[in-house]
Amino acid sequence: MTEAFFGKIALIGIGLIGSSIARDVKARGLAKEVSISTRSTGTLKRAEELGLGTSYTVSAADAVKDADLVIVSVPVGASGAVAEQIAPSLKKGAILTDVGSTKASVIAQMQPHVPEGVHFIPGHPLAGTEKSGPDAGFEGLFAGRWCIFTPVAETDPAALAKLRAFWEALGSKVDEMDPQHHDKVLAIVSHLPHIIAYNIVGTADDLETVTQSEVIKYSASGFRDFTRLAASDPTMWRDVCLHNRDAILEMLARFSEDLAYLQRAIRWGEGDKLFDLFTRTREIRRSIIQAGQDVDAPDFGRHGTSQKS
């Protein structure tokens, strides 16, 4: 079995995801040194107060010096700029990975900066919450969750095995996918649900002037579930929308067509069509539960407070 231990890990970006990785690395003793870098001094100070690493710097280039594993955990739109900053300081033989929610764009942004001899393995843990910042992270976030790698053609199998061992040590199940396929799958299972949530909560907010706060006062659990997703970080989700544009637009077109079908069935009182669709969708949740997958969203307010970083 490949050893998951690294001499030095550099974490660039220490928000929800970066800080959760830091907590797991510390708890499981997966590195001798953990250098942490983020561009804001306030966030860096907070990371130090939380004892998330062994050294702290606003210079990403300084943080990655001598690191065996570098994990970039910043909004996807910032990936290219971070790769450019750190490239000259990366150690030969180091593994460079990321956690971004979109993959083709991150590869296009980072790959051109990756020096010879550095193993670039794009990744995406399918685990998170609507919160952000170093206080929002928690130990065990990745346990039982998928982490998808989208390796590039020339990826070294030994480096891939080492990174796989690392994520498995965090409790994740690892899978590999082509980046374009990843982006399509995530567009429907993750990006569209967030966009729909932002939209429905926005619509309800617009209606509020008409209904004089009844929207909030009487909001039942269905609407509350949407407000959790719609409370997700605006920078992160702006970047996801801009960097998975084609797949999201394709899924939104399909979604709109299917919504029009539903709208028509309601208009014309076609109860059988409604009943058939609702029966089919109920089966989907039942089969997910039967397969033993956790379908429930993280609890409201269970893990820390929402912090801007």
Ligand X SMILES: O=C(O)C(=O)Cc1ccc(O)cc1
Ligand Y SMILES: NC(=O)C1=CN([C@@H]2O[C@H](COP(=O)(O)OP(=O)(O)OC[C@H]3O[C@@H](n4cnc5c(N)ncnc54)[C@H](O)[C@@H]3O)[C@@H](O)[C@H]2O)C=CC1
Amino acid letter, residue 299 = D
Using rule CB under 6 A, residue 105 touches ligand X: no
Give the strand pairing for 95-98 and 55-57. unpaired
Of residues 129 and 172, the one with the C-beta less far from ligand X: 129
Using rule CB under 6 A, residue 231 touches ligand Y: no
Residue span 232-251 as binding mask against ligand Y, x where in contact by CB under 6 A, dash where not? -x--x---x-----------
Using rule CB under 6 A, residue 96 touches ligand Y: no
CB 88 within 8 A of CB 113: no
Of residues 73 and 89, the one with the C-beta less far from ligand Y: 73
Partners of residue 69 on adjacent β-strands:
9, 95
Task: In angstroms, give the least distance from the CB of 99 to ligand X.
Answer: 8
Task: In angstroms, give the least distance from the CB of 242 to ligand Y.
Answer: 12
Task: In angstroms, give the least distance from the CB of 140 to ligand X.
Answer: 15
Phi, psi of 91 (to 5 degrees): -75, 145
Alpha helices in 212-270 (DSSP H): 214-217, 221-230, 234-243, 245-267
260: which 2 tokens?
Answer: 């029009």
Using rule CB under 6 A, residue 289 touches ligand X: no
Residues 109-168 that bind ligand Y (CB under 6 A): 125, 128-129, 132-133
C-alpha distances in angstroms, 296 versus 146, 247, 289?
Answer: 15, 25, 10
How many beta carbons lie within 10 A of that of residue 201, not counting itself? 19
Give the strand pairing for 69-72 and 55-57. unpaired
| Cα-based torsion angle of the residue sequence 235, 237, 241, 243 in order, rounded to the nearest 10 degrees | 60
Using rule CB under 6 A, residue 128 touches ligand X: yes
Using rule CB under 6 A, residue 38 touches ligand Y: yes
Task: In angstroms, give the least distance from the CB of 60 to ligand X.
Answer: 22
Residue 99 interacting partner from ligand Y, ligand X, none (CB closer than 5 to 8 Å by kind): ligand Y
Residues 274-303 that bind ligand Y (CB under 6 A): none
Alpha helices in 170-213 (DSSP H): 179-186, 192-211
Residues 154-213 that bind ligand X (CB under 6 A): 190
Give the strand pairing for 6-12 and 69-72. parallel
Part of the chain binding ligand Y (CB under 6 A), chosen from 25-33, 73-81, 142-150, 271-279: 73-81
Using rule CB under 6 A, residue 244 touches ligand X: no
Residue span 15-34 as binding mask against ligand Y, x where in contact by CB under 6 A, dash where not? xxxx----------------
154-192: buried (b, 16+ CB within 10 Å) or exposed (e) per residue?
ebeeebbebbbbbbbbbbbebeebebeebbbbbbbebbb
Residue span 181-220 as binding mask against ligand Y, x where in contact by CB under 6 A, dash where not? ----------------------------------------
Q: How far apart are CA 84 and CA 175, in angstroms?
A: 28
Of residues 159 and 170, the one with the C-beta less far from ligand X: 170
Using rule CB under 6 A, residue 297 touches ligand X: yes
Site residues for ligand Y per CB under 6 A: 13-18, 38-40, 43, 73-76, 78, 82, 99-101, 125, 128-129, 132-133, 233, 236, 240, 309
* Residues lying near ligand X in the complex (CB under 6 A): 101, 126-130, 190, 297
